[in-house]
């Protein structure tokens, strides 16, 4: 499973995923299923790279592009997924 698709799956389960000091954090921990845990472990580096690229892109869109944070995050996610060849409208 590609990083962008896995992040969508994680969020579908009501989980929050973020990178803090280069480390991946998924919360709340008690809601992480075994299948999601295994998928995260198998894609940890790709997830960190994707999230860092997404956050940087969102910040640029917000501050340089004049978008609201919500708009910037939505567009940045689409851009990052498309760059990975994962976006299927």
Distance CA(5)–CA(29), nearest Å, equals 20
* Per-domain boundaries in the chain: 3-83
Reduce the secondary structure of 24-84 to three states and give it as a string: EEEECHHHCCHHHHHHHHHHHHHHHHHHHHHHHHHHHHHHCCCCCHHHHHHHHHHHHHHHC
Q: Is the pLDDT of residue 85 over 90?
A: no
Please write the tens of the pLDDT for every residue from 49-59: 999 999 999 99
Q: Which residue has the higher pLDDT, 61 or 87?
A: 61
């Amino acid at each position: 499973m590609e990083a962008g698709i896995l992040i969508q799956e994680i969020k579908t389960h009501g989980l929050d995923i973020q990178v803090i000091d280069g480390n991946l954090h998924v919360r709340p921990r008690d809601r992480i299923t075994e299948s999601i845990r295994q998928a995260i472990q198998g894609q940890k580096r790709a997830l960190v790279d994707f999230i860092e690229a997404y956050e940087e892109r969102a910040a640029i869109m917000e501050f340089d592009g004049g978008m609201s944070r919500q708009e910037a995050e939505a567009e940045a996610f689409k851009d990052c997924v498309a760059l990975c060849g994962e976006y299927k409208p």
